[in-house]
Amino acid sequence: MRISKLSITLCALLLGGCAEGFNVTRNAPSSIQLPNGTVVAAARGWCVDTSTSRARGDTAVVVLGSCAALAGNALAPRPDVPGVVTVSVESEAGVSPSPKELETFFVSDAGRAALAHDGRAESVDILETRREDDLFILQAEDQSALPGASPVTWRALFDLEGRFVSVSLYGLSDRPIGRSEGLQTLEAQVDRLIAANDP
């Protein structure tokens, strides 16, 4: 996949969109089925924020938060780390970029700009990249992150039944997430998605 095409695809996944919502009756469901049939199931302690999860055009973006916080119930499950997880899924099936292509893209100026909140490559430092079979993981630091958000984020990108998926973990500035905790949280969510969509 050429860098220009990859840039467009990843920008859509990373930035997401807001428009028509999903038809869900519970306040904090643990899973949701997208219009394209993909099931976004949350890992333990996480639930779907139906007020901010949206599907538009080529991409659906599902926001996951603490079940206890979303349900307003202190007895409900909560994740081991504070923060927010987003799951972005391409609506149409296609050929996903390989982990090597993703690594090449994200260490480039265009890739770092796609990760930056302000769109400037110089705002982002790539702290770590990992390739595990068909899974690509990166840890980045964005100096233009929103107030209250940790500048350090984790992302996993992979193919899920023919659709390109991005899972992102955002921490809080006053409660940063450690490296091992961040990776474990990210990998648990990836495993949950794969299991929920196993044919």
Per-residue pLDDT 10s for the chain (199 aa) are: 444 444 434 444 454 433 333 333 356 899 999 988 999 999 999 999 999 988 776 789 999 999 999 988 888 899 999 999 999 998 777 788 999 999 999 999 999 999 999 999 999 999 999 999 999 999 999 999 999 999 999 999 999 999 999 999 999 988 889 999 999 999 999 999 999 999 7
CATH second-level architecture of 3-19+30-196? 3-Layer(aba) Sandwich (3.40)
Q: CB–CB of 113/91 below 8 Å? A: no
How far is 66 from 185, CA to CA, in rounded Å? 13
How far is 58 from 69, CA to CA, in rounded Å? 30
How far is 46 from 15, CA to CA, in rounded Å? 21
pTM summary value: 0.84
User: What is the C-alpha R_g of the chain?
Assistant: 16
